[in-house]
Structure 1
Protein backbone atom coordinates (compact mmCIF):
# COMPACT_ATOMS: atom_id res chain seq x y z
CA UNK A 1 0.00 0.00 0.00
CA UNK A 2 1.32 3.39 -1.00
CA UNK A 3 0.31 6.65 0.63
CA UNK A 4 0.73 9.64 -1.67
CA UNK A 5 0.71 13.11 -0.19
CA UNK A 6 -0.34 15.34 -3.06
CA UNK A 7 -1.87 18.66 -4.01
CA UNK A 8 -4.19 18.80 -7.03
CA UNK A 9 -2.27 19.52 -10.21
CA UNK A 10 1.03 20.06 -8.42
CA UNK A 11 4.33 18.20 -8.83
CA UNK A 12 2.61 15.10 -7.46
CA UNK A 13 0.41 14.68 -10.55
CA UNK A 14 2.91 12.67 -12.60
CA UNK A 15 3.57 10.37 -9.65
CA UNK A 16 -0.15 9.93 -9.06
CA UNK A 17 -0.68 8.92 -12.71
CA UNK A 18 2.29 6.54 -12.56
CA UNK A 19 0.83 4.83 -9.49
CA UNK A 20 -2.37 4.22 -11.44
CA UNK A 21 -0.28 2.69 -14.23
CA UNK A 22 1.12 0.18 -11.73
CA UNK A 23 -2.30 -0.77 -10.42
CA UNK A 24 -0.88 -0.75 -6.88
CA UNK A 25 -3.11 -0.17 -3.88
CA UNK A 26 -2.74 3.37 -2.65
CA UNK A 27 -4.38 6.07 -0.62
CA UNK A 28 -4.23 9.83 -1.07
CA UNK A 29 -3.68 12.61 1.44
CA UNK A 30 -4.41 16.11 0.14
CA UNK A 31 -1.85 18.69 1.30
CA UNK A 32 -3.14 22.28 1.17
CA UNK A 33 -0.21 24.29 -0.15
CA UNK A 34 -1.94 27.58 0.69
CA UNK A 35 -1.62 27.11 4.44
CA UNK A 36 1.38 26.37 6.67
CA UNK A 37 2.23 22.69 6.76
CA UNK A 38 1.58 20.77 9.95
CA UNK A 39 4.43 19.54 12.12
CA UNK A 40 3.41 15.98 11.28
CA UNK A 41 3.85 16.66 7.57
CA UNK A 42 7.12 18.51 8.03
CA UNK A 43 8.49 15.45 9.79
CA UNK A 44 7.77 13.50 6.60
CA UNK A 45 8.95 16.23 4.26
CA UNK A 46 10.99 19.03 5.89
CA UNK A 47 10.64 21.16 2.74
CA UNK A 48 6.87 21.09 3.06
CA UNK A 49 6.48 20.29 -0.63
CA UNK A 50 4.67 17.59 -2.57
CA UNK A 51 4.87 14.83 -3.49
CA UNK A 52 5.73 12.65 -0.55
CA UNK A 53 5.27 8.91 -0.98
CA UNK A 54 5.12 6.56 1.99
CA UNK A 55 6.44 3.10 1.23
CA UNK A 56 6.36 0.66 4.14
CA UNK A 57 6.10 3.63 6.47
CA UNK A 58 9.19 5.36 5.05
CA UNK A 59 8.80 8.78 3.41
CA UNK A 60 10.32 9.37 -0.02
CA UNK A 61 10.37 12.69 -1.88
CA UNK A 62 11.08 14.46 -5.19
CA UNK A 63 8.84 13.79 -8.18
CA UNK A 64 11.59 12.64 -10.55
CA UNK A 65 13.06 10.28 -7.95
CA UNK A 66 9.64 8.81 -7.18
CA UNK A 67 8.97 8.16 -10.86
CA UNK A 68 12.25 6.26 -11.10
CA UNK A 69 11.47 4.37 -7.92
CA UNK A 70 8.02 3.32 -9.13
CA UNK A 71 9.47 2.14 -12.44
CA UNK A 72 12.02 0.07 -10.54
CA UNK A 73 9.45 -1.43 -8.17
CA UNK A 74 6.92 -2.23 -10.91
CA UNK A 75 8.76 -3.39 -14.05
CA UNK A 76 5.56 -5.02 -15.26
CA UNK A 77 3.97 -1.56 -15.64
CA UNK A 78 6.42 -0.63 -18.40
CA UNK A 79 7.03 2.83 -17.01
CA UNK A 80 10.61 2.66 -18.28
CA UNK A 81 12.89 0.45 -20.35
CA UNK A 82 14.45 -2.33 -18.29
CA UNK A 83 18.01 -1.84 -16.99
CA UNK A 84 20.40 -2.47 -19.87
CA UNK A 85 17.66 -2.28 -22.49
CA UNK A 86 17.70 0.22 -25.36
CA UNK A 87 16.29 3.54 -24.22
CA UNK A 88 17.12 3.08 -20.53
CA UNK A 89 19.87 5.69 -20.50
CA UNK A 90 17.69 8.11 -22.44
CA UNK A 91 14.84 7.63 -19.96
CA UNK A 92 17.14 8.39 -17.03
CA UNK A 93 18.46 11.42 -18.88
CA UNK A 94 15.01 12.81 -19.65
CA UNK A 95 13.73 12.23 -16.12
CA UNK A 96 16.55 14.27 -14.64
CA UNK A 97 16.66 16.87 -17.42
CA UNK A 98 12.95 17.66 -17.21
CA UNK A 99 13.17 18.21 -13.46
CA UNK A 100 16.00 20.70 -13.87
CA UNK A 101 15.20 22.42 -17.18
CA UNK A 102 11.46 22.80 -16.57
CA UNK A 103 10.77 22.04 -12.91
CA UNK A 104 13.29 24.55 -11.58
CA UNK A 105 12.24 27.48 -13.80
CA UNK A 106 8.55 26.82 -13.14
CA UNK A 107 9.31 27.18 -9.45
CA UNK A 108 10.57 30.69 -10.19
CA UNK A 109 7.56 31.39 -12.43
CA UNK A 110 5.05 30.60 -9.68
CA UNK A 111 6.98 31.69 -6.59
CA UNK A 112 8.50 35.18 -6.94
CA UNK A 113 9.72 35.03 -3.35
CA UNK A 114 12.36 32.57 -4.52
CA UNK A 115 13.79 35.47 -6.53
CA UNK A 116 13.57 37.91 -3.65
CA UNK A 117 10.33 39.53 -4.87
CA UNK A 118 6.91 39.90 -3.27
CA UNK A 119 5.16 39.70 -6.63
CA UNK A 120 6.02 39.13 -10.27
CA UNK A 121 5.64 41.63 -13.07
CA UNK A 122 6.14 41.10 -16.80
CA UNK A 123 9.74 42.28 -16.68
CA UNK A 124 10.76 39.99 -13.83
CA UNK A 125 9.08 37.00 -15.45
CA UNK A 126 10.58 37.62 -18.90
CA UNK A 127 13.85 35.72 -18.34
CA UNK A 128 11.98 32.81 -16.75
CA UNK A 129 9.61 32.73 -19.69
CA UNK A 130 12.53 32.66 -22.13
CA UNK A 131 14.09 29.76 -20.24
CA UNK A 132 10.88 27.74 -20.25
CA UNK A 133 10.10 28.43 -23.90
CA UNK A 134 13.66 27.50 -24.88
CA UNK A 135 13.22 24.24 -22.97
CA UNK A 136 9.95 23.45 -24.74
CA UNK A 137 11.55 24.34 -28.08
CA UNK A 138 14.38 21.85 -27.51
CA UNK A 139 11.94 19.11 -26.55
CA UNK A 140 9.72 19.85 -29.55
CA UNK A 141 12.74 19.57 -31.85
CA UNK A 142 13.59 16.21 -30.31
CA UNK A 143 10.01 14.98 -30.74
CA UNK A 144 9.93 16.14 -34.35
CA UNK A 145 12.88 13.89 -35.07
CA UNK A 146 12.29 11.03 -32.65
CA UNK A 147 8.65 11.19 -31.38
CA UNK A 148 5.86 10.81 -30.77
CA UNK A 149 6.98 10.10 -27.19
CA UNK A 150 10.25 11.14 -25.59
CA UNK A 151 11.53 7.59 -26.20
CA UNK A 152 10.13 7.37 -29.70
CA UNK A 153 7.31 4.84 -30.03
CA UNK A 154 7.65 3.78 -26.38
CA UNK A 155 5.64 5.56 -23.67
CA UNK A 156 7.42 6.06 -20.36
CA UNK A 157 6.91 7.85 -17.06
CA UNK A 158 8.97 10.73 -18.46
CA UNK A 159 6.00 11.53 -20.71
CA UNK A 160 3.79 11.94 -17.63
CA UNK A 161 6.46 14.20 -16.17
CA UNK A 162 6.59 16.32 -19.32
CA UNK A 163 2.81 16.47 -19.60
CA UNK A 164 2.56 17.69 -15.99
CA UNK A 165 4.93 20.56 -16.75
CA UNK A 166 3.10 21.31 -19.98
CA UNK A 167 -0.15 21.62 -18.05
CA UNK A 168 1.50 24.22 -15.83
CA UNK A 169 2.14 26.35 -18.92
CA UNK A 170 -1.53 26.56 -19.92
CA UNK A 171 -1.95 30.19 -18.76
CA UNK A 172 1.43 31.39 -20.04
CA UNK A 173 1.66 33.75 -23.05
CA UNK A 174 2.80 30.79 -25.16
CA UNK A 175 1.50 27.51 -23.75
CA UNK A 176 3.51 24.39 -24.49
CA UNK A 177 0.70 23.03 -26.66
CA UNK A 178 1.44 25.72 -29.27
CA UNK A 179 4.33 23.50 -30.38
CA UNK A 180 2.62 20.87 -32.57
CA UNK A 181 4.95 18.07 -31.46
CA UNK A 182 4.23 18.77 -27.80
CA UNK A 183 0.51 19.04 -28.45
CA UNK A 184 0.59 15.63 -30.14
CA UNK A 185 2.39 14.05 -27.19
CA UNK A 186 -0.01 15.65 -24.71
CA UNK A 187 -3.05 14.31 -26.55
CA UNK A 188 -1.59 10.81 -26.47
CA UNK A 189 -0.78 11.03 -22.76
CA UNK A 190 -4.04 12.52 -21.49
CA UNK A 191 -5.94 9.77 -23.30
CA UNK A 192 -4.33 7.13 -21.10
CA UNK A 193 -6.71 5.68 -18.47
CA UNK A 194 -4.15 6.18 -15.69
CA UNK A 195 -3.83 9.91 -16.41
CA UNK A 196 -7.60 10.24 -16.61
CA UNK A 197 -8.01 8.44 -13.28
CA UNK A 198 -5.50 10.70 -11.55
CA UNK A 199 -7.09 13.84 -12.99
CA UNK A 200 -10.56 12.68 -11.94
CA UNK A 201 -9.47 11.81 -8.41
CA UNK A 202 -7.73 15.17 -8.04
CA UNK A 203 -10.86 16.88 -9.43
CA UNK A 204 -8.82 18.87 -11.93
CA UNK A 205 -10.61 20.96 -14.50
CA UNK A 206 -9.46 22.28 -17.83
CA UNK A 207 -6.54 21.49 -20.09
CA UNK A 208 -8.45 19.01 -22.16
CA UNK A 209 -6.68 20.59 -25.17
CA UNK A 210 -9.96 21.57 -26.79
CA UNK A 211 -10.28 25.14 -25.56
CA UNK A 212 -10.78 24.50 -21.83
CA UNK A 213 -8.99 26.86 -19.49
Structure 2
Protein backbone atom coordinates (compact mmCIF):
# COMPACT_ATOMS: atom_id res chain seq x y z
CA UNK A 1 0.00 0.00 0.00
CA UNK A 2 1.34 3.42 -0.92
CA UNK A 3 0.02 6.86 -0.02
CA UNK A 4 0.89 10.40 -1.09
CA UNK A 5 -1.09 13.16 0.62
CA UNK A 6 -1.48 16.56 -0.99
CA UNK A 7 -2.30 18.92 1.86
CA UNK A 8 -2.47 22.51 3.09
CA UNK A 9 -1.83 23.28 6.77
CA UNK A 10 -5.06 23.52 8.75
CA UNK A 11 -7.31 22.66 5.80
CA UNK A 12 -9.65 19.67 5.48
CA UNK A 13 -6.59 17.61 4.56
CA UNK A 14 -5.58 17.88 8.22
CA UNK A 15 -8.01 15.11 9.21
CA UNK A 16 -6.54 12.74 6.62
CA UNK A 17 -2.99 13.67 7.65
CA UNK A 18 -3.94 12.91 11.26
CA UNK A 19 -5.40 9.54 10.32
CA UNK A 20 -2.27 8.50 8.43
CA UNK A 21 -0.22 9.31 11.52
CA UNK A 22 -2.66 7.42 13.73
CA UNK A 23 -2.45 4.39 11.44
CA UNK A 24 1.33 4.44 11.60
CA UNK A 25 1.64 3.56 7.91
CA UNK A 26 4.33 4.91 5.57
CA UNK A 27 3.20 7.90 3.51
CA UNK A 28 4.57 10.90 1.68
CA UNK A 29 3.28 14.46 1.75
CA UNK A 30 3.16 17.20 -0.85
CA UNK A 31 2.46 20.74 0.31
CA UNK A 32 -0.12 22.66 -1.75
CA UNK A 33 0.44 26.37 -1.15
CA UNK A 34 -3.13 27.64 -1.31
CA UNK A 35 -2.19 31.29 -0.70
CA UNK A 36 -0.13 31.28 -3.89
CA UNK A 37 -2.88 29.54 -5.87
CA UNK A 38 -1.00 26.26 -6.28
CA UNK A 39 -4.30 24.35 -6.03
CA UNK A 40 -5.28 25.81 -9.40
CA UNK A 41 -2.12 24.94 -11.28
CA UNK A 42 -2.42 22.54 -14.20
CA UNK A 43 -0.39 19.81 -12.52
CA UNK A 44 -2.56 19.75 -9.41
CA UNK A 45 -5.83 20.01 -11.34
CA UNK A 46 -4.91 16.80 -13.14
CA UNK A 47 -5.02 15.11 -9.76
CA UNK A 48 -8.00 17.00 -8.39
CA UNK A 49 -10.15 18.94 -10.88
CA UNK A 50 -11.97 20.73 -8.03
CA UNK A 51 -8.78 22.56 -7.10
CA UNK A 52 -9.17 21.72 -3.42
CA UNK A 53 -7.33 19.69 -0.81
CA UNK A 54 -7.00 16.96 0.17
CA UNK A 55 -5.96 14.64 -2.57
CA UNK A 56 -4.66 11.26 -1.49
CA UNK A 57 -2.87 9.19 -4.11
CA UNK A 58 -3.70 5.60 -3.17
CA UNK A 59 -1.56 3.01 -4.92
CA UNK A 60 -1.07 5.45 -7.79
CA UNK A 61 -4.74 6.53 -8.08
CA UNK A 62 -5.78 10.03 -6.88
CA UNK A 63 -8.74 10.03 -4.48
CA UNK A 64 -10.59 13.04 -3.06
CA UNK A 65 -13.05 14.27 -0.40
CA UNK A 66 -11.81 14.20 3.17
CA UNK A 67 -14.67 12.16 4.67
CA UNK A 68 -14.46 9.59 1.89
CA UNK A 69 -10.70 9.31 2.33
CA UNK A 70 -11.08 8.70 6.06
CA UNK A 71 -13.63 5.97 5.40
CA UNK A 72 -11.47 4.43 2.69
CA UNK A 73 -8.45 4.33 4.99
CA UNK A 74 -10.55 2.79 7.76
CA UNK A 75 -11.61 0.03 5.37
CA UNK A 76 -8.07 -0.58 4.16
CA UNK A 77 -6.70 -0.78 7.71
CA UNK A 78 -9.37 -2.62 9.66
CA UNK A 79 -6.82 -3.63 12.28
CA UNK A 80 -6.64 0.00 13.49
CA UNK A 81 -10.27 -0.10 14.63
CA UNK A 82 -11.06 3.41 13.43
CA UNK A 83 -14.47 2.27 12.21
CA UNK A 84 -16.89 -0.19 13.83
CA UNK A 85 -16.80 -3.70 12.39
CA UNK A 86 -19.22 -4.45 9.56
CA UNK A 87 -21.35 -6.61 11.85
CA UNK A 88 -21.30 -4.21 14.83
CA UNK A 89 -24.51 -2.37 15.77
CA UNK A 90 -22.52 0.89 15.79
CA UNK A 91 -21.66 0.53 12.10
CA UNK A 92 -24.85 2.30 11.06
CA UNK A 93 -24.19 5.12 13.52
CA UNK A 94 -20.71 5.53 12.07
CA UNK A 95 -22.08 5.92 8.55
CA UNK A 96 -24.63 8.44 9.81
CA UNK A 97 -22.03 10.47 11.69
CA UNK A 98 -19.55 10.57 8.82
CA UNK A 99 -22.23 11.67 6.36
CA UNK A 100 -23.57 14.21 8.85
CA UNK A 101 -20.15 15.81 9.27
CA UNK A 102 -19.51 15.75 5.52
CA UNK A 103 -22.95 16.92 4.35
CA UNK A 104 -24.06 19.26 7.11
CA UNK A 105 -21.08 20.64 9.01
CA UNK A 106 -18.41 20.88 6.29
CA UNK A 107 -20.61 22.81 3.78
CA UNK A 108 -21.74 25.22 6.49
CA UNK A 109 -18.11 25.85 7.39
CA UNK A 110 -17.22 26.52 3.78
CA UNK A 111 -20.12 28.96 3.44
CA UNK A 112 -18.95 30.79 6.56
CA UNK A 113 -15.39 31.20 5.32
CA UNK A 114 -16.00 31.61 1.58
CA UNK A 115 -19.38 33.35 1.32
CA UNK A 116 -17.89 36.25 -0.65
CA UNK A 117 -15.84 34.07 -2.99
CA UNK A 118 -18.30 31.26 -3.72
CA UNK A 119 -21.41 33.38 -4.26
CA UNK A 120 -22.72 36.88 -4.85
CA UNK A 121 -20.93 39.18 -2.37
CA UNK A 122 -24.12 41.17 -1.74
CA UNK A 123 -25.65 38.09 -0.10
CA UNK A 124 -22.52 37.17 1.85
CA UNK A 125 -23.70 38.54 5.20
CA UNK A 126 -26.96 36.62 5.00
CA UNK A 127 -25.14 33.43 3.99
CA UNK A 128 -22.69 33.80 6.87
CA UNK A 129 -25.48 34.45 9.37
CA UNK A 130 -27.33 31.32 8.26
CA UNK A 131 -24.12 29.29 8.26
CA UNK A 132 -23.30 30.42 11.76
CA UNK A 133 -26.69 29.15 12.94
CA UNK A 134 -26.04 25.80 11.24
CA UNK A 135 -22.55 25.47 12.74
CA UNK A 136 -23.63 26.39 16.24
CA UNK A 137 -26.58 24.02 15.93
CA UNK A 138 -24.16 21.26 14.97
CA UNK A 139 -21.92 22.02 17.94
CA UNK A 140 -24.97 21.91 20.21
CA UNK A 141 -25.92 18.51 18.78
CA UNK A 142 -22.42 17.07 19.21
CA UNK A 143 -22.17 18.49 22.72
CA UNK A 144 -25.44 16.72 23.52
CA UNK A 145 -24.07 13.40 22.28
CA UNK A 146 -21.16 13.70 24.67
CA UNK A 147 -23.37 14.58 27.61
CA UNK A 148 -23.77 10.88 28.51
CA UNK A 149 -20.12 10.72 29.53
CA UNK A 150 -18.76 8.98 26.45
CA UNK A 151 -15.17 9.81 25.57
CA UNK A 152 -15.64 9.81 21.79
CA UNK A 153 -18.44 10.46 19.33
CA UNK A 154 -18.95 6.75 18.68
CA UNK A 155 -18.84 5.75 22.32
CA UNK A 156 -15.51 5.08 24.02
CA UNK A 157 -13.40 4.26 20.99
CA UNK A 158 -11.56 6.65 18.68
CA UNK A 159 -12.94 6.64 15.13
CA UNK A 160 -12.65 8.57 11.90
CA UNK A 161 -15.60 10.66 13.09
CA UNK A 162 -13.47 12.11 15.89
CA UNK A 163 -10.61 12.97 13.56
CA UNK A 164 -12.90 14.88 11.22
CA UNK A 165 -15.01 16.48 13.96
CA UNK A 166 -12.04 17.83 15.89
CA UNK A 167 -10.59 19.47 12.78
CA UNK A 168 -13.97 21.07 12.06
CA UNK A 169 -14.10 22.26 15.66
CA UNK A 170 -10.65 23.76 15.21
CA UNK A 171 -12.08 25.93 12.43
CA UNK A 172 -14.49 27.55 14.89
CA UNK A 173 -11.67 28.93 17.04
CA UNK A 174 -12.09 32.51 15.75
CA UNK A 175 -15.85 32.40 15.28
CA UNK A 176 -18.20 34.32 17.61
CA UNK A 177 -18.88 31.12 19.54
CA UNK A 178 -16.05 28.58 19.27
CA UNK A 179 -16.61 24.90 19.91
CA UNK A 180 -14.71 25.13 23.19
CA UNK A 181 -17.53 27.23 24.66
CA UNK A 182 -19.72 24.12 24.97
CA UNK A 183 -18.77 22.26 28.17
CA UNK A 184 -18.83 18.68 26.86
CA UNK A 185 -17.06 19.67 23.65
CA UNK A 186 -14.41 21.54 25.66
CA UNK A 187 -13.57 18.39 27.63
CA UNK A 188 -13.63 16.28 24.48
CA UNK A 189 -11.40 18.67 22.57
CA UNK A 190 -8.91 18.91 25.43
CA UNK A 191 -8.65 15.11 25.56
CA UNK A 192 -8.07 14.66 21.83
CA UNK A 193 -5.65 17.58 21.56
CA UNK A 194 -3.46 15.74 24.07
CA UNK A 195 -3.07 12.76 21.74
CA UNK A 196 0.56 12.26 20.59
CA UNK A 197 -0.56 12.03 16.97
CA UNK A 198 -2.39 15.37 17.21
CA UNK A 199 0.74 16.99 18.61
CA UNK A 200 2.83 15.47 15.82
CA UNK A 201 0.28 16.57 13.24
CA UNK A 202 0.49 20.18 14.32
CA UNK A 203 4.28 20.05 14.38
CA UNK A 204 4.40 18.62 10.87
CA UNK A 205 2.00 21.26 9.54
CA UNK A 206 3.73 24.09 11.40
CA UNK A 207 0.62 25.00 13.41
CA UNK A 208 0.77 26.49 16.91
CA UNK A 209 -2.80 27.76 17.41
CA UNK A 210 -5.52 25.83 19.21
CA UNK A 211 -3.31 23.66 21.37
CA UNK A 212 -3.81 22.68 24.98
CA UNK A 213 -2.14 25.01 27.46
CA UNK A 214 1.26 23.79 28.59
CA UNK A 215 1.39 22.36 32.08
CA UNK A 216 4.41 22.63 34.34
Is the pair's TM-score, using the shorter chain for normalization, greater than 0.5? yes
> For 2:197 and 2:76, how far apart are their aligned partners in 1?
17
Of the three residues 155, 179, 183, the one matched with 1:180 is 183
**Residue 20 of structure 1 corresponds to which residue in structure 2?**
21
> For 1:31 and 1:106, how far apart are their aligned partners in 2?
20
Deviations along 1:169-200, whole A, 9 cap, x unmatched? 00001001101111111112112222221111
- Judging changes above 3 Å, is the alpha-carbon distance between structure 1 residues 118 and 196 closer, same or farther for their aligned structure 2 residues? farther
Of Structure 1 and Structure 2, the greater helix share is in: 2
After TM superposition, list the pairs within 5 Å mapping 1:79-98 onto structure 2: 79-98=82-101
How big is the alpha-carbon RMSD for the aligned residues of Structure 1 and Structure 2?
1.7
Are the counterparts in 1 of residues 193 and 212 from structure 2 also a CA contact under 8 Å? Answer: no
Are the counterparts in 2 of residues 109 and 128 from structure 1 also a CA contact under 8 Å? Answer: yes
Shift of 1:115: 2.8
Structure 1: 5+ residue stretches without partners: none
Q: Could you tell me the TM-score, scaled by structure 1's length?
A: 0.93
Moved over 3 A (4+): 118-121
Number of matched pairs: 210
**Residue 120 of structure 2 corresponds to which residue in structure 1?**
116
**2:46 matched to 1:75?**
no
Deviations along 1:1-21, whole A, 9 cap, x unmatched? 210000000000111010011
> For 1:84 and 1:196, how far apart are their aligned partners in 2?
33
**2:32 matched to 1:39?**
no
After TM superposition, list the pairs within 5 Å mapping 1:42-191 onto structure 2: 42-112=45-115, 113-117=117-121, 120-121=124-125, 124-145=127-148, 147-191=150-194
